Structure 1
């Protein structure tokens, strides 16, 4: 089962946020706490908090980013 095309922008924002928050929170957690037995639990907590904050921001900022990119880049040649 696949989602309708109208959901593509939301899914793009969601998945980008999942991967970026995961990676950035892992790096920040390891830098702060070091590599230890507890790093996994600390990372999951940091990931959850960062995702809850970042996803709404991505939804609000993405239209602005698209507008800026469309002004900076030429449209594709047909």
Structure 2
């Protein structure tokens, strides 16, 4: 098991992997259609995308959390 202190990194790794996988697949399909060799082309587009997406998620996630915290009000029922 991975220590809990790395939870945010693991979350970013999985989130960025899944998101870049889906987005690169859609973009590749829209560009070339269902051609022979589509999967190979998709994977060669996805891996560099993930290499950019992962560090981006690690940097952007804390900023996004702060923005969201300013946009919502606390739920009085959640505080007990």
TM-score, scaled relative to structure 1: 0.89
Q: Unaligned stretches of 5+ in structure 1?
A: none
Partner of 1:13: 12
Partner of 2:29: 30
Partner of 2:53: 54
Instruction: Please say which structure displays the higher CA radius of gyration.
Output: 2
* CA drift at 1:54: 1.2
Cα displacement string for residues 7-53 of structure 1 (whole angstroms, at most 9, x for unaligned residues): 11111111000000000000000000110221001000110111111
1: distance between equivalents of 2:40 and 2:46?
Answer: 10
Task: Report runs of 4+ in structure 1 exceeding 6 Å deviation.
Answer: none
2: distance between equivalents of 1:27 and 1:73?
Answer: 32
TM-score, scaled relative to structure 2: 0.87
Contact 2:12 2:54 (C-alpha < 8 Å) held by counterparts: yes
Q: CA RMSD in A?
A: 1.2
Matched pairs, number: 77
Cα pair distance change 1:5/1:75, threshold 3 Å: farther
